[in-house]
Amino acid sequence: MRKKRKIDIGDVNMVTSSEEETYSGSSPHFAHLCISFLPLPLADEPSTEDDGKLVPGCRNSSKRELQNMIEKWKAFVSKVVKRQKVLIRDENEVLYKQKEKLTEKLEVVQVKNDELSSKVMVEKERNEALDAELKRIAEEYKATVVVGPFNAPQVDFDALYEVDMYKSCFNGRFPSGVGWDEFASKWKNLKDFYLDEGPSESIVMPNDKNITTTLTENIEVVEREDDITRDLEGERICLK
């Protein structure tokens, strides 16, 4: 009958037989530990002296063999740790370079965005100034055309009917130059240039949304205007 005893080696408990067990055949150079699934206990460094005795619980492994195996495992783990550190360092360098490139691109995009924002603001201010100028010109135009001294609806075209069109030389289709200025000045200074009645009854002041003008019905004036137009076609107008 076999007697068994319990051996405490730190964090690992194992049960061994008091009798030596023999194994047939040749065992590997480094026999695996009997309790290989648990880490080695943290204990004092084993003695490097080889007394030739077998370690209890292991297959034909002496202290020196176990010590060599432990040293090899330490060297292997150290290499793995160093390799891992190198990989982490290389990866960090790549990430850092990518971050620098992205930061530079972001700065360029930010500068372009600021430039575009400035251009948009300048264009907006320019459009606002143009709108204000357009409104001002429109108001001046309304004041000049509607209530100014030279109001077209207020002109008496009968005054032109008696004007001799063949005494001075200028083209009636393309009025310009000294001749036209003289003609316009004389036409505007005629005593019959304006109607006797004011335009208040026939003209409605325009507003921003709608411009309404009540035209005066004058069939005789329209007929005379047609006659003047026919006389001017293809002829050179002359007036003193």
> In this predicted model, what pLDDT tens digit does every residue of 21-31 receive, in sequence order?
444 444 444 44
Taking Cα atoms as reference points, which of 227, 234, 152, 222 lies closest to residue 193?
Answer: 152
Task: Report how far apart, in Å, the C-alpha atoms of 194 and of each of 13, 21, 68, 150 are.
Answer: 129, 142, 128, 9
Label residue 172 exposed, middle or buried (CB < 10 Å: 0-12, 13-18, 19+): buried
DSSP state at residue 194: B
Percentage, residues of the chain above pLDDT 70: 34
- Looking at the whole model, is its pTM more than 0.75? no
Bridge partners (DSSP) of residue 14 are 7
237 CB neighbour count, 10 Å cutoff: 21
**Of 153, 133, 166, 131, which Cα lies nearest the Cα of 205?**
153
SS3 17: strand
Q: Considering only CA atoms, which of 74, 231, 90 is closest in space to residue 166?
A: 231
Q: Which pair of tokens denotes residue 100? A: 């620098």
Contacts for 65 with CB less than 8 Å, ≥ 6 apart: 30, 31
| Confidence check: pLDDT of 20 > 50 | no
Rounded distance, CA 45 to CA 177, Å?
120
Strands 13-17 and 236-237, by their bridges, are unpaired
Per residue in 48-91, pLDDT tens?
454 555 545 555 567 888 888 899 999 999 999 999 999 999 99
Cα distance from N-terminal residue to C-terminal residue, the chain: 157
- pLDDT tens-place string over residues 109-131: 999 999 999 999 999 999 999 99
Nearest to 152 by CA among 207, 195, 208, 209: 195
Look at 106 and 217; give whichever has higher pLDDT.
Answer: 106
Q: Which helix (H) or strand (E) holds 87?
A: helix 63-145
Predicted confidence (pLDDT) per residue in 134-174, tens digit: 988 888 877 765 554 445 555 555 555 655 556 555 455 55
* Strand spans (E) along the chain: 4-8, 13-17, 170-171, 236-237
What SS3 class is residue 54?
strand
